[in-house]
Amino acid sequence: MPIGDMLLRSVDDGQINTVFPRTFEEYKKWDREKDELPPEIVYRTLFEELATGEKIQVGRALTRMNYSKSGWKSLIKKTSREIKKMTKKGEIPESYKDTLIQINKDWGDPTFWYSMAQMLNTKTPIYYWNAIDRTYDQDQNVIMQDEKRRIYVQTWLKTLKVSVYVTFFCLILGFPVAHLLANLPLRYSNLLMIFVLLPFWTSLLVRTTAWIVMLQQKGVINGVLVWLGILSDDGRIQMVYNETGTLIAMTQILLPFMILPLYSVMRVIPKSHMRAAQNLGAKPATAFLRVYLPQTIPGMSAGGLLVFVLAIGYFITPELVGGKDGKLIGSWIAYHLKTTLNWGLCAALGAILLGVMLIFYWLYNKIVGIDNIKLG
Amino acid sequence: MALPTYATPVQRTYYYAYLFFCGVVFFFLVAPLIAIVPISFSKSPFMIFTEGMLAWPPEPEAWSLRWYKNMVGNCSADVVSSTVPCSTKWMTGTVNSFFIGITATVIATALGTLAALGLSRPHMPFKGIIMAILISPMIVPLIITAAGMFFFYARVNLVYTFTGVILAHVALATPFVVITVTATLVGFDMNMVKAAQSLGAKPTRTFFKVIMPLILPGIISGALFAFITSFDEVVIVMFMASLDQLTIPKQMWAGIRQEISPVILCMATCLVVLSIFLLTTVELLRRRSEKLRGITAR
């Protein structure tokens, strides 16, 4: 239910229509081919609606208008201040058009009026376009954002890249460990399992903090390397607050999610298979590749998808360990939700992310089935 | 999985390399958690191993409990440092965390157990869809759930209230209860319910006297999962909670972002101890439930 609401938000554009209903009504009648500027009646309704409009409502509408074309906010703010002054004095202008242009010459600038066309509908895909660095030009064509404002495509790619790397590292590190756990006698494997489950049960923030402690310039790892003489005292490596830090920390945090499904699959592979293959003359490597590995594929795909999907939506660790260039898409969602209050864009980013996840889950369900998730 | 006696030297080398690699990975998994424990007892206001701490023989000067005192809100002169603020925020956070966690756990356990009982009936319609919806908060990235909940709760004025935070945590924690209880119910003999009812017990009485004692291990470990979920949860708390609902994770988050102080490590140490305790409990319960079901260790 909350998610459905979010999806609605991502296309919702009705709010602004409640503020300037009549202006928009008249605006639609304006023939752009004939006149350069809208007719007098549009200026008049706008004037009246600004004079009577509720301050909070107008304020919200302004924020929305500014997404279409920057400059709207200050323009309307200035204008409505002047209009309030005039209505207080009881003045009624002869020509609304001239008065408005007199207040601010931007009212004579057709590009502002063109951008208003984007706001007419109550549903809009603009946030989705924004989420992939595109916007509308004055004629409703989809174009690229300014060079400076293109951040999302880059962030999407980075998020994907980090998720792929984390999944890969988790697989490399997790596979031998799961194999060891699955083949040891139960007494030892239960004991070693604690090493896997303890991080799994520990708070995410604790582990993130721990990694900051480990990786910082005066941190444990740098300290050990200097002590061993591998690094000089000035040559300490910057490992935290960049992408390396994010990768290391995320790999450790998500590793249990790879080991546990792998373990539960490997547990049930009979040991006799490997022995049989070797008896029949296969070298250990061949036996492993052709007999053992194919049987672990369900575990690898389950763990891989679980880690990938968790990594793609990760937010806490990249935000804290990643520093400036480690920001992933989750950070932007949080940023728009909390700081800029651009909820439409936030919801659109979230919806795209959700779409990506659903594709992966569909795959996951096809391969292993959703009920096979196991906890510890 | 020991090597056979006839293994060649090459095989031996591979085998030991493999063991070594596994050892490194285990170290990688737990080393960060262990490293923070000694630093939390440090005297220095930075999160590093000071020279005094590494010295041999140990220097008692370098160690202290000052950050723990700071954490519990004891702001006497020897505790305060110019870089580390001292306040009762950590204790407020602890109280709130336990309050939210326990309330959410109770509700989630009740709801989750009932849902699992219903879902494990053989003739339940739409089982797959219901299960998918119930599990969805566990699978959808938290940030999306949090954003959706924020928008939704903002409409019904629940943002920045305890009720809102608790309800959101219940939604997150219920799937864990459903999964663990369903797993326990697999070994449950439904004929016992029929027996109880034919002997005249009403459904509630059947539940409390027959079903519950048998699936109790599952319920408890589900409840522990639910508790740790709510207790560790930071994303939703960040969006939905005001300063009144300050919890430990929120305070830690603020701490890491603003002042990197050893007090965070003290709290982290406490949380590691708590998680060891919970882990042991769950592990013991799992074994007990396996014994109850007659599944002996493989």
- Cβ atoms of B219 and B181 within 8 Å: the answer is yes
pLDDT at residue B100, as a whole number = 92
Query: What's the whole-model pTM score?
Result: 0.77
Query: Is B42 in a helix, a strand, or coil?
Result: strand
The full set of domains in chain B, from first to last, is 89-249+258-290 (1.10.3720.10)
Output the pLDDT for position A375.
44
Of B152, B180, B271, the CB nearest to A1: B152
Sign of the dihedral defined by the CA atoms of residues B20, B25, B26, B31, in that order: positive
Query: How close B31 comes to chain A (CA, Å)?
Result: 9
Contact B256 A208 (CB under 8 A): yes
C-beta atoms of B25 and A314 within 8 A: no
Largest CA distance in chain B: 74
Burial class (CB in 10 A: 0-12, 13-18, 19+), A108: middle
User: What is the reported pLDDT for A90?
Assistant: 67
Closest chain A residue to B27 measured between Cα atoms?
A195
With a cut of 50, which residues of chain B have pLDDT below it? 295-298
Q: How far is A254 from chain B (nearest CA, A)?
A: 10
**In chain B, which residue's Cα lies nearest the Cα of A206?**
B268
DSSP letter at A242?
S
Q: Which residues of A touch B142 (CB under 8 A)?
A: 313, 315
Would you call B133 an interface residue with chain A, using a CB distance cutoff of 8 Å? no
Q: Is the ipTM reported for this complex over the cut 0.90?
A: no
pLDDT at position A121 is: 60
Is B179 an 8 Å CB contact of chain A? yes
pLDDT computed for residue B104 by the predictor: 94
Q: Which of A5, A284, A357 sits opposite B148 (nearest CB)?
A: A5
Distant-in-sequence contacts of B274-281, Cβ < 8 A, 24+ apart: B275/A198, B275/A201, B275/A202, B275/A203, B275/B228, B276/A198, B276/A201, B278/A201, B278/B224, B278/B227, B278/B228, B279/A194, B279/A197, B279/A198, B279/A201, B281/B220, B281/B221, B281/B224
Phi first, then psi: what are they for A143, rounded to 5°?
-130, 170
How many Cβ atoms from other residues are within 10 Å of residue A367's Cβ?
15
| C-alpha distance from A94 to closest chain B C-alpha (Å) | 43
CB atoms within 10 A of CB A14: 11
Give A252's contacts in chain B (Cβ within 8 Å): 28-29, 32
Full pLDDT tens readout for chain A, 376 residues? 555 556 666 555 555 556 666 666 666 666 666 566 666 666 667 666 666 666 666 666 666 666 666 666 677 777 777 777 777 776 666 676 677 676 766 666 666 666 666 665 656 666 776 666 666 665 566 666 666 666 778 888 888 888 999 999 999 999 999 988 888 887 888 888 888 888 888 888 888 888 888 888 777 888 888 888 777 777 777 777 778 888 888 899 899 888 888 888 888 888 888 888 888 887 878 888 888 888 888 788 878 888 888 888 888 888 888 777 767 878 878 877 777 777 777 777 888 888 888 887 787 777 665 555 444 3
Interface of B with A in 11-30 (CB under 8 A): 11, 18-19, 21-22, 25-26, 28-30
Instruction: Report pLDDT for A202.
Output: 85
How many H helices and E strands in chain A? 20, 2
N residues, chain A = 376
CB atoms within 10 A of CB A236: 17
Segments making up each domain of chain A, as ranges: 15-120, 152-372
Centroid of chain to Cα A115: 27
What is the pLDDT at residue B110? 93
CATH class of A152-372: mainly alpha
Give the closest-approach CA distance of B221 to chain A in angstroms. Answer: 11
Q: Do B155 and A5 touch (CB under 8 A)?
A: yes
* Alpha carbons A238 and A244: distance in angstroms, whole number: 9
Q: Is A280 left (phi over 0), alpha (psi -120 to 50) or beta?
A: alpha
Query: Which CA distances in Å does B294 have to A186, B120, B291, B298?
Result: 17, 20, 5, 12
How high is the pLDDT of residue A324? 72
Using the Cα atoms of residue B174, residue B179, residue B180 and residue B185 in order, give the sign of their dihedral.
Answer: positive
Name chain B contacts of A202, Cβ cutoff 8 Å: 33, 271-272, 275
Q: What is the pLDDT of residue A28?
A: 63
